[in-house]
Amino acid sequence: MKESENLRIPLIAGNWKMFKTAAEARETAAQLIQLVDDVKNVEIMIAPPFTSLSVVAEIIQNSRIGLGAQNLHWAKEGAFTGEISASMLVSAGCEYVIIGHSERRQYFGETDETVHQKLHAAIQAGLIPILCVGETGTQRDEKKTFSVLDKQMENGLEKLTFDAYHLLVVAYEPVWAIGTGKTASPDQVQEVHLYLRRHIEKQFGEALAKATRILYGGSVKPNNITELMALPDVDGALVGGASLQPDVFSKIIHF
């Protein structure tokens, strides 16, 4: 048993990205419920597109699966065409929200400042934010991994109170491993996760550092999840493509 198991319940989160119509999402969620009914001591979350949140919420009600969103806006309401607020996510049945995913940063102008604002909005609404951090391949080659992570964590968590922090989940997703089939080596993953935990300890203290769940995201598959979950500072996974197929995702959940 990992030392962390008595402190941090593993979380396996599925990010469906821009895949699945409402009908497809309904069918996928229904299949997944049956496949993970026997799972114990693991939290499960799926994040469908906004258009399927309410549909999936109805299907997974009273199941072991929690509902998450892939993004949110920091304002409570307003003239922000195409955006969605934290309260709207809560009303749709969400418990979690992914914030600062590398694809949001890369393609849609997400910054550490907007991540910071979104974190506060999520926490104020009672949502569990999954804060994504990670370096690009160029940044790793230039040995900037830890300076990049420091900046993302410090700016993203700025002014976050001690009392609010307990809701936070952190996900390390090396950008060079997302959707590429490449996975960071166990040594690389453990090194970064331990670094993040020590960063949290410096900012918020030992107790919260030990309690914070740090997920790994980056081409997680059934054939590597067991090795990843055996690492002392890995508390779960943020799964992309492999979460779209219920049979494959359930194998990851059964690590």
Domains (range + CATH), the chain: 3-253 (3.20.20.70)
Minimal CA–CA distance to 184: which of 198, 195, 199, 168?
Answer: 195
Average pLDDT, the chain: 93
Residue 7 has pLDDT above 60, yes or no: yes
pLDDT band for position 158 (cuts 50, 70, 90)? confident
* pLDDT band per the 50, 70, 90 thresholds, residue 3: very low
Q: Is 4's pLDDT higher than 50?
A: no
Catalytic residues: 101, 173
Distance between CA 176 and CA 73 in Å, rounded?
26
Contact criterion met (CB below 8 Å) for 72 and 85: yes
Higher pLDDT pick, 189 / 2: 189
How confident is the model at residue 99, as a pLDDT?
Answer: 98
Going by pLDDT thresholds of 50, 70 and 90, the confidence category of residue 1 is: very low
Grade residue 162 by pLDDT with cuts at 50, 70 and 90: low
pLDDT 10s digits, 117-143 = 999 999 999 999 999 999 998 999 999
Q: Which residue type is seen at 191?
A: E
Which pLDDT belongs to residue 122? 95
- Separation CA 210–CA 200 (nearest Å): 9
Name the β-bridge partners of 99.
131
Q: Return all residues near 65 (Cβ < 8 A) that are at least 6 apart.
A: 29, 32, 33, 36, 44, 45, 46
Average pLDDT over every residue of 105-116: 95
Work out the average pLDDT over 180-199: 91
